Amino acid sequence: MNKFLLVSVLPVLLAILTVKLCASMATVGGAGAYAFNNNGIKRITMHKVNRTCNGNTTQYKCHGKGKHTGITKRSVSATETLLDQGWGAYWMGLITVGTPGQTFYTDFDTGSSDLWVPGELCGTACGGTHTYKPSLSSTYKAWNKTFQIVYGDGSHTTGVFANDTVNIAGISITGQPFAIINSASGMTSRTNDGILGMGYQKLAQGGEVPVIWSMYLTGALSLPIFGFWFGPVSTGSDTGELILGGYDTTKYTGSFTYAPVSVKGYWEFAADSVSLTIGSTTTTIATSINAILDTGTSLAILGPTAYVNTINTILGATFDSASGLYKVNCQTKPLSAFPNIAVTISGVPFVLTPLMYLEIITNSAGSTCYSLISSIDANDANGKPIWILGDFFMRRFYSVFDMQNDRIGLALSTSYSTVQTVPSTLFQSTTTVTPSSTTTKPSTTTTVSSTTMKTSTASSKFF
């Protein structure tokens, strides 16, 4: 695994790439007892934050049927307040662990399935600001079994499994398995106090039942469903929202497009294609792809290196080894010359316009534009290459994760149309082609063969 190095112009942008690589091991013994209270649907207000970056900060983390309807009104069960530390790189929410509850701001991560928080022995090595203290919890129970995650670049976390009461948005879970991290390497730049995994049990390092599924099995949630909404950065809002037990009908327009989960573990599904459109001409980059919807990855789209190189070549971008991203000429190239990028799922194109996948970083030296399309050469459990759709994609589309029907759903977010402000010195034109959410078939279509694509200078692999 390669870590991307940051330069001073990117202290916020490139803490964002948080792609999980599976190189971990954990063993547990025994099982915890579970008890819940507070049935129903819960809302968690989330806040965007960025990691404080110094050098290498890109972390690669390892590793019943029915119908439901949306809900229109709920009271706010829990709201956490965080300072916006700059341009948002990922999203955190409040949980408590122990009795009385000890506060942690965790990354709610659909790309993993374990809950872990820093322990007293980890100190600053784990990042964040809060540590779990077993001696202060009357409901703590030790497992004394090892939990270990080894990252592809050599960074790691090591700790032990335990059981304790976990509270999320007013839902209290007693005896929930989680990991207490006692040592770590390469994680001091993290601002979150741990990770709450929201993937399937197959990804759980100790085989434990993940928190969200436990809530459903024991009756704390009527449905094993949750929905994410990320607020637009350019409005000055630093909040997003996670709904447990349903989704928020006020945060999207139109209807959901669903895709069945194809491989349980990550939220993996089959997508039709990735394509680029300028005017009436569409270039199909890849077809019949395997995609993962991952809140723990902050870039817009990651895919196999060869395809990503082709996309960024069409954008006129060049790979920047210092940042690990592709740099785009936005000084002299008009915005209308950049394509719209569509990921088609279940026959519906989900379109990102240029200002949704280009990030403009401005400082005293001027403005620099980066492509939020990057490469990862990784395979799923069946050995098939994967694409990852991260937070900058999900900011535009409300996302529903449905464990009852084993499917993901996407709809046009209320944040879709809000884009960043463009400095007057950039682009020859500020006009871009913006299709509707139901883009019609273009008059000209070409398909790019993967055998003709460039090889990459930067890649990462699951191992």
Does residue 100 have a pLDDT over 80? yes
- Give the three-state DSSP class for 352: strand
Closest C-alpha to 78, from 109, 52, 101, 55: 101
* Cα–Cα dist 267/282, whole Å: 28
User: Strand, coil or helix: what is 235?
Assistant: helix
Residue pLDDT, tens place only, 176-228: 999 999 999 887 877 888 889 999 999 998 999 999 999 899 888 888 999 99
Residue 170's pLDDT band (boundaries 50, 70, 90)?
Answer: confident
Q: In the prediction, which pLDDT does 234 show?
A: 54
Higher pLDDT, 155 or 318: 318
Domains, in order of start, for the chain: 13-234 (2.40.70.10), 251-452 (2.40.70.10)
Q: What is the pLDDT averaged over residues 111-131?
A: 92
Secondary element (H or E) of residue 312: helix 305-314
The tens digit of pLDDT for each residue in 76-94 reads 322 232 223 335 456 788 8
Q: What is the pLDDT of residue 429?
A: 53
Write out the H or E segment, with its range, that includes residue 222. Answer: none
- State both tokens at 382: 């069946």
Q: Is the peptide bond before 100 cis (omega within 30 degrees of 0)?
A: yes
Rounded CA-CA distance 437/349 in Å is 7
Give the active site residues: 109, 294
Please state the pTM of the whole predicted model.
0.79
DSSP 3-state of 137:
coil
Lowest mean pLDDT among 81-85, 274-278, 359-363, 408-412: 81-85
| pLDDT class of 157 with cuts at 50, 70, 90 | confident
